[in-house]
Structure 1
């Protein structure tokens, strides 16, 4: 059975460190602690004194002064690992933690996960090809030497970097290593940890290289594990649940996140707010509990993006330059069918193709596999289509050699509607207003990643009103915008009323519109 040696790096709140150590060792696991040498000696002495009666806890033999982005964090980790190897010969797995982490599963569950798969759990993506780094310094982290801390000595850090670049003092990466990158929160088997420590002792050249690498805690262990361990024995993921905001800051969890955290497919979570006392108490009791069943839905990241995105709806100050330079054409008529249920819109548009011979394109701004002609590459990705929206539609008009064309659009694409409405071409809109049952909303939540197959009925019941209100908001926003030539097909309206609206949209007789609608079961799911 798995026995976990927790490698705890911490720098504050000695009382919380003591509580964390006692909680995680109560179920038979062990812990090695490195307490930052920058912290007060009295705090460290208090931790050692309070845990002196806990045989399952040991301490790094040498404390290091740690700085963010420095080798010191790796050295502190190595010191704690060595202490754990020496003190706990029966430990099977080594799990990296910080003082802000807490278990979101029971020890029983964690041991079962580790016993089931003989793997190392660590993010290890190719440094140069993966795109893991989103902003800031990339290749220069490795190819230049970094002697100063960017946060503590910003001017010296960037001055040193600039001088090296000017003088061409690039260095070579060790030839036998393929540098990897990923989260520093890993769980490794004992054999892997022993291989790493042996490698460190023998390959001082590699240690020298990483000592002056910027943010080596995201590359050192990730590279060595991939170098030493067969790929089939590596699970390229972390077992610690963490999320980051748009600004690169870690998301903090509070008292009302308990159910969300337990539903994620992870063993620990980071960061728990120091003020979330109720959450800490509940999670603290959880680790030692037995026979707890977890319903894993794993929707946390998608749900966070969805909810925070509701508050970020804004407008651009001006059109993009490629949009101001292009127009669909004054004599052209763009007809847009707007519907949240894509299959309903496609059903109507297919019938309009047959009845009117008008060129029509399905959800070209929403579905990457929408059938489109070759337009020189502008149509190849959704990103390109959105970026060059007017140019794309103008080229479609020219391709079909027509001054009238129908498109399908999701109601969430409000910015596209406002952009096309500002064009010199005539815009005609037909919104299809469908009814949304609870089962449809639940399916929608699963399709977009707000819920998983294992999400409980209670959690779904709490989420569905938010999803329903979001769909209603999209529709209300369109109707409140004051678009000219806006027509509306309602599932609840009479066939005669819907035929009247469709006739106005396509500029045909009432009888023609009735025939089109009579030939299809428009709102059938």
Structure 2
């Protein structure tokens, strides 16, 4: 069975570190602690005193650490070396920080690691992947960085500019393909021993990484790819972490307990220091026996969904390439807006049967929407959105008509605003449907906010938020105050449906009544 040696890098909160070490070692696992030498000697002494009688704890030689520096890698190597010597029975070495806590039991974690003989480390091609979203990329490697960017900013950038001006670049070692990824990894003992041997024999590679910027995101990631067969590497982290839009780590609090347990990870960071109840519950969890976990893994999509509420951007200015590209003053664009796509499709199918108006379903939402070949502009969803007006003009020409019906999701407010400003005559028919809890649950699963294994109590707490979000979409459309905006409500009688449809299509009432004479129009 797997036995884990945790590699803990920390610099504050000695009481929390003591509790963390006691919790992780209570079930027979090990921990090697590197406590930053910049931190107070009294704090370190308190940690050593509290844990001195615990045979499953060892301490690494301390050095002063700084963000973005080689010192973080050196501190990690010190802790790894200490763990290899102190714990010969350790099979896996798991990198954690003082802000990390287990979100599964030790029993679960050991069984997870036993299932597959591999290393877990994010390891993506440095130059080909998009792991670095903004900022320096090649500059991290080809220039030497000796100063700390945060504490010695002027020296850091002065040295960079001097090297750039003088052309003092350097080559990456020829036999090394640089990789990048999260610093939170879990490696097998054999891999760790190979890395330590490599560090001793390849001083040129160590010197290279020692003067790169943020080497904790590249050093281990590169060496593992260099030393371990590809089929034995799982390019992922076992630590669940989220980042805000500003690149800052998301903190977890007391009410995140159920969410964290349902993720397909063994640990999570960052657990807020103020989340004392969450820390207590997770500490108890690691020692639990026969604990069962319903892994639904919707955490990332759920976080993105919830944080996006309330900061929905509206685009008022036309795109620069569409300033003069009107659909045509004499043309009519009829937009059916409905969250329940199957309802809109039933209605447009009836319109297609009873009139001569071409109807196109959710062309801006559904990749599989059948469209004619228009020279490739219709081939991808990004092209359809980017060249929306050109696409619509080509559809008018293809069908040889001045009237088109299309379907659109209420979330596409930017499209509605764009078409609503056009010189063409635009009319909108918003279909307001009843949303049952079963429908909302299905919608949450289809959109990735929940999974088949999401606990019922978690889903029950999520449904009101999903319902409010759908109502918010409708409110935004109403707040936009579009001209020629009609509503067809499920709760209204069929006569009202026919009246709204007649105004939308500009057809006689008798034709509209025949179109809506469909018993199953709103059926789920």
Q: Could you tell me which runs of 5 or more consecutive residues in structure 2 were left unpaired when the two chains were aligned.
A: none
Distance 1:358 1:316 in 2: 30
Shift of 1:374: 4.5
Q: What is the TM-score with the length of structure 1 in the denominator? A: 0.96
C-alpha spacing 1:52/1:519, structure 2 compared with 1 (3 Å) = closer
C-alpha spacing 1:438/1:403, structure 2 compared with 1 (3 Å) = same
Q: Are positions 1:125 and 2:119 aligned together?
A: no
Equivalence for 1:365: 364
Equivalence for 2:30: 30
Equivalence for 1:389: 388
Shift of 1:164: 2.5
Shift of 1:451: 0.8
Q: Deviations over 1:67-123 (max 9, x none)?
A: 111111111101100000000000000000000001111111111111112121111
Q: Deviations over 1:299-330 (max 9, x none)?
A: 11111111111121233463332343432222
Distance 1:366 1:499 in 2: 27
Indicate the RMSD between aligned Cα atoms, in angstroms.
1.8
Shift of 1:159: 2.7
Shift of 1:48: 1.4
Q: Are positions 1:451 and 2:450 aligned together?
A: yes
Q: Deviations over 1:363-413 (max 9, x none)?
A: 222223333344455444333433343343334334433322122110011
Q: Deviations over 1:132-188 (max 9, x none)?
A: 111111122122222222212222222322332333333222222222111100111
Distance 2:246 2:371 in 1: 36
Equivalence for 2:69: 70
Equivalence for 1:522: 521
Distance 1:404 1:317 in 2: 25
1:196-275 counterparts in 2 under 5 A?
196-275=195-274
Distance 2:519 2:460 in 1: 33
1:295-314 counterparts in 2 under 5 A?
295-314=294-313
1:66-105 counterparts in 2 under 5 A?
66-105=65-104
Distance 1:419 1:501 in 2: 23
Equivalence for 2:44: 44
1:475-486 counterparts in 2 under 5 A?
475-486=474-485
Equivalence for 2:319: 320
Distance 2:412 2:248 in 1: 28
SS of aligned partner of 1:312 = coil
Q: What is the TM-score with the length of structure 2 in the denominator? A: 0.96
Q: Answer with 171-180 or 300-309: which moved more.
A: 171-180
Q: Deviations over 1:402-436 (max 9, x none)?
A: 32212211001112212221222111111122222
Q: Deviations over 1:464-496 (max 9, x none)?
A: 111111112212332343322222222222223
Q: Answer with 394-403 or 201-210: which moved more.
A: 394-403
Shift of 1:248: 0.3
Q: Are positions 1:3 and 2:3 aligned together?
A: yes
Distance 1:81 1:458 in 2: 41
Distance 1:184 1:18 in 2: 23
C-alpha spacing 1:400/1:174, structure 2 compared with 1 (3 Å) = farther
Distance 1:164 1:361 in 2: 58
SS of aligned partner of 2:310 = helix
Q: Are positions 1:16 and 2:16 aligned together?
A: yes
Q: Are positions 1:147 and 2:146 aligned together?
A: yes
Distance 2:150 2:380 in 1: 39
Shift of 1:447: 0.9
Equivalence for 1:112: 111
Distance 1:52 1:376 in 2: 73
1:408-423 counterparts in 2 under 5 A?
408-423=407-422
Shift of 1:278: 1.1
Distance 2:161 2:381 in 1: 38
Distance 1:144 1:34 in 2: 29
Distance 2:349 2:211 in 1: 62
C-alpha spacing 1:21/1:519, structure 2 compared with 1 (3 Å) = closer
Distance 1:163 1:393 in 2: 53
Q: Answer with 209-218 or 38-47: which moved more.
A: 38-47
Equivalence for 1:291: 290
C-alpha spacing 1:173/1:371, structure 2 compared with 1 (3 Å) = farther
SS of aligned partner of 1:48 = helix
